[in-house]
Every structure is written in structure tokens, then in C-alpha cells.
Structure 1
Amino acid sequence: MYRSNPLFNPNKSFFAPAATETKAAKPAPTGADLYARFALAGALGCAITHGALTPVDVVKTRIQLEPEVYNKGMINAFKQIISKEGAGALLTGLGPTVVGYALQGAFKFGGYEFWKKTAIDYLGVEKASQNRQAIYLGASGIAEFFADIVLCPLEATRIRLVSQPSFASGLTSGFLRIVKEEGVGALYAGFGPILFKQVPYTMTKFAVYEIAVEKILNATGKTKDQLTNGQTTGLNLTAGLIAGMAAAVVSQPADTLLSKINKTKGAPGESVTSRLISMAKQLGVKGLFTGMSARLVMIGTLTAGQFLIYGDIKRILNATGGVEIAK
């Protein structure tokens, strides 16, 4: 038999103990109301974590784009940027980061819950239990694809602002300048790299998170329902950190290419594919993993934070309870 799996249940908080759910005074929401709450929780989780880590993202992007300048590690890169441009430069691109990842988080987490539930309904509880990892991977991959459609234009704007600080004063002016001078297509020049970065990242994040939770619980000899609130928080932060670091490594090459392709516009007649191939050849394996240490810190931290915030906000919004799959 399979016992309760928090990721598999589309209505249950990742972090709230089962006992908390039984005390809920209000009936659990269903249908569109429920998925709207998932989307809101995901939007807040991603916007808060990505926004808070904007300085790390700025440093990581600068290292990727100008390795000949920022070549003495992450800490020194921080010092270089502050010395040359002031501390405010570390918040470059904050606007598009918060807006872009709020939208992405809504589609990613809300979509993940929807596609996961859809798969469970289609396969049935028993078969779904036996193939739960495939469902985690499939549901998260589909959800991320649609999330990237809304994220891509804002990520393109963010990278342009970080790589060219004088390009525009903020999100709106930068977005409009790209559209005016280069056309709407320029906002999606990095759609291929963003898919290759975000889809494997999200699939790895959810799959590794689930495996990590199972392994940690097996090592302690406890079930999740036997953990205290503090132990549950520690479990999910630890599993989220492990998942984030694994996801960072998997998605790093595409992240480097995404930064490169959005730095400047392509030559007339040059396709996105040819630009990507050329960039990959020039960079080589070592170059594709430039900025890895900064990204490990960033992705590991924000992934752990996302799982924590997402679960807590779902609990606050009463997006808990519902059908469970035995594990």
C-alpha cells in the first residue's frame, strides 16, 4: 500500500500537518476557486523568492555576460558592481523579475496542481500511485511550458536592463523600447533557451524534492504526520534545497545561453537557432557553466523558499484537504 504523499494530493499543503487540516472551520474550496488559490500561492512564492534574490541574479548574469571582467568569484563580483555603479545596481531588473516570476509562479504551481489532478483522474488512483514520479514529471513539464510563455518577455527585459544599465529606466520603458526598436519577436528570442532551462529545472525540482522527502523520512523512521511543525518545516526546506541545487545544475547551460542571447539583438537574417549553436560552440562546456556557484546559491535558496511559502500560503487560503492517494 502507498501512504499519503503531500505532492500527490492536489489540495493538501506541502507543509501543514494533517492535524491542522481537520481543524479548518471553513469548507475546503473546490474547482476554479481552489486552483485560483493555488495560483495565488505560487505567484507569491515565486515573486517573493526571486525578488529577494535579485542581487544574486544580477551578479550571476554579469558573470555570465562578462566573464573577462567578473572573473574572481561571486563575492568579488558583488564588490566590483557596488564600487563601479553603487549598491542600487544590485536591484537592476527588480520590476520585471517580480512581475515575470509572479506570473510564472501562478501558471507553474497552479498548472502543476491542475495537470497532476487531471492525470490522477485519467489513470485512476491505483495506477497513478504506481506511476507517481512520471506524473510529477509530466504535470510539472506541461505547467512550466505555459508558464514560460508569460515569463519570456519579462525575462528578456530583465536581462537587457542588467546587461545594459543605460538601456531604460525600468520595466515599462525597457519593454516598450525593445518592442519599438526590435519588434515583439525580440521578446521571444530567448524562448527556446528559457524552455530548455525552465522545463528541466521544474521537472527536476519536483521529482528530486519528492525523492529527497522520501529518503529523509526513511532515514528518520517517521512518517510526515508524526513530525512537529518545526520538523516539517526543516524537512521541506532541506528537501527543497537539495532539489534546487540539482535543478540548478541541470538547467545551467540553457541559463547561460538565455543571458547571452538577450544581451544584444541578432544580426539581420540570423535565426535564433543559428545564434544559439554559435554561442554554444564559442562557450564550450566550461563556458556554459560560467556563474555556477552563484546560481547554486540562488536556485537552492529560492527553491527551498518557494516550497515553504507555497505550502504556508495555501494553508492560510484554506486550499487544503481533499482526496489523497495512498502511498
Structure 2
Amino acid sequence: MRAVDGRVCEEFSPAYYGVCTMGGMFSAGTTHLAITPLDVLKVNMQVNPIKYNSMYSGLNILLREGGPSALWRGWAGKFLGYGVQGGFKFGLYEYFKKLYSDVLVDQNRSFIYFISSASAQVFADVALCPFEAVKVRVQTQPNFAKGLGDGFPKLYATEGLSGFYKGLVPLWCRNLPFSTIMFTTFEHSVDFLYCNVIQKRKENCSKAQQLGVTCVAGYASGAVGILISNPADNIVASLYNKKADNVMQAVKNIGLANLFTRSLPIRITLVGPVVTLQWLFYDAIKVLTGLPTSGGLENHLEGVN
């Protein structure tokens, strides 16, 4: 039953965190599923940059060698893995942000955003890692497995439980910087837009205006996060495909400059719109359930009506 104010639940209640978790699962799972073809191309460009040396030629090679179905390899891993990760990432971020803001009352907001997103991402990547391990192999090794159904038991049989978590540390190295930068940039972008562009309090804006702010802040957060996380993203792909046995060897094989530039254009093409849509879907679910959109521990708009 809805509350008098139209909300399905009270903020910071268990039901509220449940809505945030489900919203995160839906927003992350659907957006990552939609860009599976570009993700297949990105991973192959990282693992075999000589063969897949550009987006256009890489797509042609994939279509010529595997047909249209080759572009959708690993779709189940994308949908389920990143759905689970998104649920943990968004749901736990809301929980930790409230927890830390209550406990660390004298800390500045940036620190609260940073440790909240980092705490949530640690758990989110533990949940994602097994799906990612199978997905990358399915996408780059056509004879490995058809998908999650046969990929999970095959990976376990050949590499044991450790095979699912071989890339956990590189995942943390990639996603922790991305997540902390993304959430912190998003929060401050929301505050900046309300304070300096719209010059209204959030509660005085229409739902369309609030979702517009979410989109702009979401794109800004994704763009900054991409630049920070690209080296670790290349290392993850190298480790999962046995191009290197450890992180240092992967760095040596790829080269320091290539860590920052390899697959960067396609990641910009991929991640910017995906992050924007994730925030839009996530906040749209909040709006539909009568909850306020995301952004800030409180609405800091001194002197703004």
C-alpha cells in the first residue's frame, strides 16, 4: 500500500533499499545487455589488437567469421552478471551513504561518497566476478562454451573455484576507481546543476527536470570514470584470456601507453551512454515508486528558492 505522500515506502527503510537494489539490477542488466555486440568487439580488440585493429574492421571480422550470433556471445553473462552487480552497487551505495553520513557527521561529502561507493563496489564485484570470467571466455574463445549454462561447469572442471575469481583483484582495480569517481562526480554534478543552472531546489522542480539533471550528471560521471579505469580494463581482459599470468606481466605485455589508449574509443562509445541510461532508468524507477531522485546527502542550495 502506498503512503499518503504517494511513496511505496519510507526512505532508508528496508523496503527502500529493496527498491534501490531492484532498480539497480534492472538498470544495469538491461543497459549492459543492449550493448553486448560492442562489448564483444571491445574484448576482442583488447585480447587480439592486431586482428581487431579498429571498430569497423573488427565488426566485419566478427560477422564474417561467426555471423550475427557472434555479436551476442556472452549475452547471458552480461545481463545476469551486471544485473547482480548493479543491484549490489546501487542498493549498497544508498545503504552505506546513509550509514556513513550518520556516523561520520564531521566528514565532508566527497569523502562520504567515496567510501560509500567503494564499500558497495567491493561486494558488487565479488558477485560479478564468476559471470565475468565465463563471459569473457565465451566472447573470445568460440569453442570454449555457448554460454553460462555450459560455461560455468566447464570452467569449474578445468580451473576449479579459483578460475572464477582470477580476475577479482583486477576487477577491483578497474571498478573501484570507476565507481568512486562515478558516484562522487554524479553527486557533485547534481548539486552544481541545481545550484548554478536550474537555480531551484530539487523538490521545486518537475519530475522531467529532475530526470534531465540525472541524465546530464550521469553522462559527466561516466566520462570521467572511463579515463580512470581504462588501464585496469585492459589488464582484466588479458588475464582472463591467459595472455598473462599476473598483473605485472600483463602491464609489460600491453605496454604502459597502450594501457591508457587501447580500446579507449570503444569504451567511450560504450560506457558513456550506458552510465547515462543506468542513472535514468534507476531514477525513473524511484520516481515511479514515489521516491526522490538521486543526488546528495541533502539539498545544499543556500539562498535558492
**CA 1:179–1:119: 2 relative to 1, 3 Å:** same
Contact 1:160–1:264 (8 Å) recurs in 2: no
| Superposition deviation, residue 32 in structure 1 | 2.1
Structure 1 residue identity aligned to 2:138: L
State yes or no: 1:202 paired with 2:179.
yes
- Superposed, 1:97-108 pairs within 5 Å as 97-108=78-89
- Superposed, 1:274-313 pairs within 5 Å as 275-288=246-259, 289-313=261-285
In the alignment, structure 1 segments of 5+ residues that lack a partner are 1-20, 267-271
Cα distance in 1 for partners of 2:216, 2:288 equals: 22
Structure 2 residue identity aligned to 1:285: L
- Superposed, 1:158-237 pairs within 5 Å as 158-223=135-200, 224-237=202-215
Contact 2:73–2:146 (8 Å) recurs in 1: no
1:132 counterpart residue number: 109
* Identical amino acids, percent of aligned pairs: 29
Give the SS at the match of 1:169.
coil
- Superposed, 1:241-320 pairs within 5 Å as 241-264=219-242, 275-288=246-259, 289-320=261-292
Cα distance in 2 for partners of 1:146, 1:226 equals: 36
Give the SS at the match of 2:255.
helix
| Superposition deviation, residue 146 in structure 1 | 0.7
**CA 1:244–1:25: 2 relative to 1, 3 Å:** closer
Structure 1 residue identity aligned to 2:126: I
1:56-106 deviation per Cα after TM superposition (whole angstroms, max 9, x unaligned): 1111111101100111x2233222211221111111100011111111111
1:276-323 deviation per Cα after TM superposition (whole angstroms, max 9, x unaligned): 1011012112321311000011111111011111111123334559x9
**CA 1:119–1:319: 2 relative to 1, 3 Å:** same
Structure of greater relative contact order (alpha carbons < 8 Å, 6+ residues apart) = 1
| Superposition deviation, residue 30 in structure 1 | 5.2
| Superposition deviation, residue 229 in structure 1 | 3.5
Structure 2 residue identity aligned to 1:303: V
Q: What is the CA RMSD across the aligned residues, in angstroms?
A: 2.2
Cα distance in 1 for partners of 2:162, 2:222 equals: 31
Match of 1:74 among 55, 62, 66: 55
1:90 counterpart residue number: 71
Contact 2:214–2:283 (8 Å) recurs in 1: no
State yes or no: 1:33 paired with 2:5.
no
Contact 1:112–1:139 (8 Å) recurs in 2: yes
Contact 1:45–1:309 (8 Å) recurs in 2: yes
Aligned length: 294
2:44 counterpart residue number: 62
2:31 counterpart residue number: 49
Contact 1:28–1:318 (8 Å) recurs in 2: no
Cα distance in 1 for partners of 2:15, 2:206 equals: 30
**CA 1:79–1:247: 2 relative to 1, 3 Å:** same
Please give the TM-score of this superposition, normalised by the length of structure 2.
Answer: 0.89
Cα distance in 2 for partners of 1:148, 1:26 equals: 29
Give the SS at the match of 2:10.
coil
Structure 2 residue identity aligned to 1:241: Y
| Superposition deviation, residue 218 in structure 1 | 4.3
Structure 2 residue identity aligned to 1:300: G
Contact 2:7–2:290 (8 Å) recurs in 1: no
Contact 2:88–2:123 (8 Å) recurs in 1: yes
1:141-174 deviation per Cα after TM superposition (whole angstroms, max 9, x unaligned): 0100011111011101000001101111111211
Contact 1:38–1:319 (8 Å) recurs in 2: no
Contact 1:216–1:235 (8 Å) recurs in 2: yes
1:99-158 deviation per Cα after TM superposition (whole angstroms, max 9, x unaligned): 11111111111110111110122134xx35xx1111011100010001111101110100
**CA 1:312–1:157: 2 relative to 1, 3 Å:** same
Cα distance in 2 for partners of 1:228, 1:49 equals: 25
Compare 301-310 and 207-216 and name the one that shifted more: 207-216
Cα distance in 1 for partners of 2:160, 2:35 equals: 30
Contact 1:43–1:101 (8 Å) recurs in 2: yes
